[in-house]
Structure 1
Amino acid sequence: MSLSVRGLTKRFDAKTAVGGLSFDVARGEVVAVAGPNGAGKSTTFLCLAGLVRPDAGTIAFDGELLGPERGRTIALIPETPDVYPMLSVWEHLAFVAALTKQQPGWEARAETLLERLALSAERNTLGNALSKGMRQKTLLAATVLGGAPVLLLDEPMIGLDPLGQRELRAIVADLRAEGHVVLVSTHLLESAAAMCDRMLVVNRGALVASGTIEELRARRGDGSIEDVFLDVTRS
């Protein structure tokens, strides 16, 4: 297994947001993380990305424990896509290329990402003039260009138009084929089922169900993934 999480725990005062969460994700696997509001999905992603310090637990990649500085290994696109207001779309990509020491020729890959995400016409638009969907696409392009082996996508479909959603699914499929680890937090269960290999269902900071989409549906006699979700999060 490529990404290994053991006993991940985060408390905020008396509230346990994430309680002893453990799971593995292999290279070339796309895994959905689903759960109701307040289940601990975003906190889990923030802990994995090193933006929030967990109270307990370990995070390892390819057998090596990761310390707080792990931005080269794990990249997060948060639910609220914040960009630099005075950098253009292209300048965001150039900044990430410099930060991650991309090899010469990165510009061609960046141009391809802009075309795929229908951002070419916005390449010179400043961040403060971008819509939420455009900001999200900019972060997606920059994150993919950066080449981190583990990508965390927090509610990536929200704010994207149908074309953007379709291209996101295609990019995630490419990342899978290239051997990346991809975790997708989402409320859109059927979209996640179509895009992901497995699903982890969390509730109150704990893992309450996991398996392939087929395995989870079999729990309800091939019912819908929404039925399974409601069963395990209400119990």
Structure 2
Amino acid sequence: MLEIQDLSKSYGKYLAVDKVNFFIPDGQVGVLLGPNGAGKSTIIKCIAGLLRYTGRIGIQAIDAKTLEAKRLFAYVPEIPSMFEALTVREHIEYIRRAYNSNVTDEEIEAMLSRFDLDDKQDKLGNELSKGMMQKVSICCALAVKPKVILLDEPMVGLDPKAIKELKEVVKELRDQGVTVLISTHMLEMVENLWDVMFVMEKSHIIGSYNKAEAGEKDLDDLFFEMTGSWETDGDS
């Protein structure tokens, strides 16, 4: 489960996130949506431990700042960053050792094959395209075997096959009881994945929907009911 309580973050005098609260239980996929400047990326970076904040973030009811919680959590950033001198396989091995993960060699091989990286295991980080780096980032996150996983614009830069595989992975994680949070502006990419949505505007969560309560309305309709028109390029 992922629990956000009274989360606030300021940049100088600018209040980017103001006492935000939301909750995603085990085995559900939450999507975080919002127009430019709403504070979405700030929330993502707080959850990932990249920013200082006030309030509380809980991972499986454990304070997110603790090492115990970090071992249960995985993060796929919008812009992947690789170690230039490590190969694809060494990136995953590094994560396995850092997290003391019980992921097996067979499971790693299956992940690499699934994302068409099995023949690229010896490529160095500085030899990878943006799409390949994104795939490696996804594989590293899965190698943690997390209880909570955060995906920030995970489908940007992926080819159609990789997008299809990632959607299937999200469904499998949900079936395994993993909590998934996806931050995206690509509504069509999460249309058939989400269980609960949270919409941000001007540093606040202005509304949420549970899919079971949405009836026949699709994700676009629900989103625009709350926000009206919005920009789709960039974020903050």
Q: CA deviation at 1:61?
A: 2.9
SS in 2 for 1:194: coil
Matches for 1:1-235 after TM superposition, within 5 Å: 2-54=1-53, 56-67=54-65, 69=67, 70-103=69-102, 106-213=104-211, 215-216=213-214, 222-234=216-228
Normalised TM-score (structure 2): 0.90
Q: Structure 2: which amino acid aligns with 1:25?
A: I
How big is the alpha-carbon RMSD for the aligned residues of Structure 1 and Structure 2?
1.8
Write out per-residue CA displacement over residues 38-72 of structure 1, whole angstroms, 9 at most, x where no aligned residue.
Answer: 21111111111211111x21112333333254431
SS in 2 for 1:98: helix
Q: CA deviation at 1:223?
A: 4.8
Instruction: Verify the 8 A CA contact 2:60 2:147 in the aligned structure 1.
Output: no
Gaps of 5+ in 1: none
SS in 1 for 2:192: helix
CA distance in 2 between counterparts of 1:114 and 1:139 reads 11
CA distance in 2 between counterparts of 1:168 and 1:58 reads 29
CA distance in 2 between counterparts of 1:71 and 1:62 reads 10
Q: Structure 1: which amino acid aligns with 2:63?
A: L
SS in 1 for 2:51: coil
Change (3 A) 1:214 1:200: same
Instruction: Verify the 8 A CA contact 1:48 1:74 in the aligned structure 2.
Output: no
Q: CA deviation at 1:21?
A: 0.7
CA distance in 2 between counterparts of 1:173 and 1:233 reads 28
Gaps of 5+ in 2: 230-236
CA distance in 1 between counterparts of 2:66 and 2:52 reads 8
Q: Among all aligned residue pairs of Structure 1 and Structure 2, give the percentage whose two residues are the same amino acid.
A: 35
Change (3 A) 1:182 1:151: same
Write out per-residue CA displacement over residues 83-128 of structure 1, whole angstroms, 9 at most, x where no aligned residue.
Answer: 111111101011111111123x621110000011111111111111
Q: Structure 2: which amino acid aligns with 1:129?
A: E
Q: Structure 2: which amino acid aligns with 1:170?
A: E
Change (3 A) 1:150 1:224: closer
Q: CA deviation at 1:227?
A: 3.5
Instruction: Verify the 8 A CA contact 2:151 2:182 in the aligned structure 1.
Output: yes
CA distance in 2 between counterparts of 1:161 and 1:46 reads 26
Instruction: Verify the 8 A CA contact 1:31 1:183 in the aligned structure 2.
Output: yes
Q: CA deviation at 1:224?
A: 4.5
Normalised TM-score (structure 1): 0.90
SS in 2 for 1:23: strand
Q: CA deviation at 1:148?
A: 2.2
CA distance in 2 between counterparts of 1:84 and 1:64 reads 30
CA distance in 2 between counterparts of 1:233 and 1:29 reads 24
Instruction: Verify the 8 A CA contact 2:59 2:73 in the aligned structure 1.
Output: no
Instruction: Verify the 8 A CA contact 2:74 2:150 in the aligned structure 1.
Output: yes
